[in-house]
Every structure is written in C-alpha cells, then in structure tokens.
C-alpha cells in the first residue's frame, strides 16, 4: 500500500484573526475557503497497535474523494497514515452506506493555508466549534516533530485544549 504520512497538531481555537496574522507574518500563503462534508463509515475492528482506523467520503465542490487512514496519538501530536482515491461516481456514498453504515457526518467550513510542507486548516465544524489543525507532511527528511513543536509554540496564545481523535469523534460525542 502506498501510504502518506502526516504529523498533526489539532486544538480548539477561538482566535482565527490572530492565527491569520501569524500565518501572514511567517510567509504562509492563503489558498481558499471551502465547504466540506465528510461521511465517516463503520469499519470492522482492526489491529489496535495501528491506532484508530477511519474511512470517509469527502464531498466538496461536487467532487468526491475517498480517504482511508489510521492514526494514533504520540505525545501531543497525532500521526496519520492515509490513502486517497478520487470517487467520481455520485452513487459511491450510497454503496458505502449500504455496505458499512454511516457513523457520522461532519460539515465544516475550511480555510486553507500552506507553507512548504505544512498545511494549516482553520476549521469551523458544525456543532463542534472552531479548530486549528496543523498538518506537517513528511517531506525530504525534514524533522516533522520539530516542525510540529515550532508551530505549537507559535500558536500557543491562540490554542485552547488539544483534540485527540478526529472530527468524527467530536461530532459523535456532540450527538450530531
């Protein structure tokens, strides 16, 4: 399997204005604001050593992407390994729902920024609130743990409590 690797910082954040200013000051580039709907499906239990396994269908701007990943918390950051596939057939969601059942539907507005191998997501998740997600993508031998620590320090004044798990867990916990 061809998996990609991310290390992530994810925390509640009520002060997106300050985050935007810090991003601009550190040469991050604003990409876009988009509406996303993620449907998470039930999966059979897997190897607990791998961490939580997830399968979601993301719909945005009429396109569909199927994302399978597993993640585990390591210290104060999360490691995700994932695979992506375009899912152009609009019936794919119905097929997945019939086969696996839907565990949660996450609706969010995502403001996307980027700098080098780092993606910054300023998410407003329906029924949950505002979340800052910093995804450091494994690239060219960079020390991704050091990058996560660097951005944790940079954004510390803006961060609320850390989030362990995914938006799926937050929506399920909120009963949405």
What per-residue confidence (pLDDT) applies to 112? 98
**Local confidence pLDDT in tens for the 176 residues of the chain:** 455 668 889 999 999 999 999 999 999 999 999 999 999 999 988 766 667 889 999 999 989 999 998 887 777 777 788 888 999 999 999 999 999 999 999 999 999 999 999 999 999 999 999 999 999 988 766 788 899 999 999 999 999 999 988 999 999 999 86
Alpha-carbon gap, residue 34 to 16, rounded angstroms: 16
CA distances (Å), origin 58, targets 62, 67, 163: 10, 8, 21
Tell me the residue range of the domain where 129 lies.
Answer: 4-174
Contact present, 119 and 148 (Cβ < 8 Å):
no
Alpha-carbon gap, residue 68 to 70, rounded angstroms: 7
Contact present, 171 and 54 (Cβ < 8 Å):
no
CA 127 to chain centre: 16
**What CATH number is given to the structural domain containing 37?**
2.40.320.10
Contact present, 19 and 132 (Cβ < 8 Å):
yes
Q: How far apart are the first and last CA of the chain?
A: 33
Q: Six-digit token pair at 164?
A: 């362990």
- What is the number of other CB atoms lying within 10 angstroms of the CB of residue 68? 17
How many structural domains comprise the chain? 1
């Amino acid at each position: 399997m061809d998996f990609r690797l991310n290390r992530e910082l994810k925390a509640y954040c009520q002060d997106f204005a300050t985050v935007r200013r810090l991003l601009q000051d550190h040469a991050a580039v604003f990409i876009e604001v988009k509406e996303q709907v993620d449907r998470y499906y039930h999966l059979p239990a897997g190897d607990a050593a791998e961490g939580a396994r997830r399968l979601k269908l993301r719909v945005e701007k009429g396109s569909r992407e199927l994302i399978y990943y597993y993640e585990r918390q390591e210290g104060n950051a999360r490691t995700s390994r994932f695979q992506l596939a375009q899912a152009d057939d609009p019936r794919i969601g119905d097929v997945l729902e019939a086969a696996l059942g839907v565990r949660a539907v996450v609706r969010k507005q995502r403001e996307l920024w980027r700098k080098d191998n780092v993606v910054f997501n300023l998410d407003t998740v329906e029924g949950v609130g505002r979340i800052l997600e910093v995804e450091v993508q494994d690239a060219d031998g960079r020390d991704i743990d050091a990058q996560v620590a660097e951005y944790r320090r940079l954004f510390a004044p803006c961060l609320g409590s850390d989030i362990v798990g995914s938006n799926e867990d937050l929506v399920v916990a909120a009963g949405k």
